[in-house]
Amino acid sequence: MAVEVVIRRAQSGDESALSLVGQATFLETFSGVLDGGAILEHCRKAHSPSYYVQWLDDSHSAVWLASAVPGEAPVGYVVVTKPDLPGADPARDLELKRIYLLGRYQGGGLGKRLLGHAVEHAKQVGAARLLLGVYAQNHSAIAFYTKQGFTHFADRQFVVGGTAYDDHVMSLELG
């Protein structure tokens, strides 16, 4: 049985839901890849509710929350914000900072719907490109982004638990 999912713009008060999905998805994606203690520490810092409050309160950021119906349990989200990636031009680029979706909800078009909100927002605010960083070994995510029109743009390192991992920076031209 398919579960209906609604997407809405996140607002103040949604930080705990965003934090929960962020932590669950990071753990789900990287368990067996990264050190467990490093995952927990990363989630404690990078997925704390206060971390999400920063984006929710920032006029340069936009966040959408996906929730299952009925019950409004959070199942995914997308964050678009100022770029912090190699080769980014803050005057013309935005960054798809996170697009997280619980595994159970992947493969049914919800990721594409979340991405659609990010792309539409980027176009509305006049961005020329939407950039993102993705773990170089996350082949399913890279395939998803490539299918949506993103191309490999640069590389960077992402540090979790003191260990550096290779990331691809991908770009989507919006004009």
pTM for the model stands at: 0.94
pLDDT digits (tens, 9 = 90+) for 70-92: 999 999 999 999 999 999 999 99
Tell me how many degrees the CA angle 137-140-146 measures, rounded to the nearest 5: 100
Could you give the CA distance from residue 82 to residue 61 in angstroms, rounded to a whole number? 7
pLDDT level of residue 175 (50, 70, 90 thresholds) = confident
Q: Which pair of structure tokens corresponds to residue 45?
A: 């810092």
Q: What are 58's two structure tokens?
A: 């920032």
Q: In this predicted model, what pLDDT tens digit does every residue of 37-71 receive, in sequence order?
A: 999 999 999 999 999 999 999 999 999 999 999 99
Backbone angles phi, psi at 161, to 5 degrees: 65, 30
- Domain 4-173 in CATH 3.40.630.30: yes
Confidence band of 167 (pLDDT split at 50, 70, 90): very high
Question: Percent of the chain, pLDDT > 70?
Answer: 99
Whether residue 115 is predicted with pLDDT greater than 70 in this model: the reply is yes
Domain boundaries, the chain: 4-173
CA 8 – CA 10 distance, rounded (Å) = 6
What is the Cα–Cα distance from 12 to 55, expressed in whole angstroms? 10
**pLDDT greater than 60 at residue 143:** yes
Average pLDDT, the chain: 95
Over residues 118-147, the mean pLDDT reads 97
Number of Cβ atoms within 10 Å of the Cβ of 157: 12
Per residue in 89-112, is it b (16+ CB within 10 Å) or e — as a string?
A: eeeebbbbbbbbbbeebbeeebbe
End-to-end Cα, the chain, rounded Å: 39
Cα–Cα distance for residue pair 65/139, rounded to 1 Å: 24
**3-class SS of residue 128:** coil
Return d(Cα 169, Cα 11) in angstroms, integer: 28
Closest to 130 in 3D by CA, of 88, 101, 76: 88
Question: What local confidence, expressed as pLDDT, does residue 144 receive?
Answer: 96
For the cut 60, the answer to whether the pLDDT of residue 1 exceeds it is no
Q: What is the pLDDT of residue 151?
A: 98
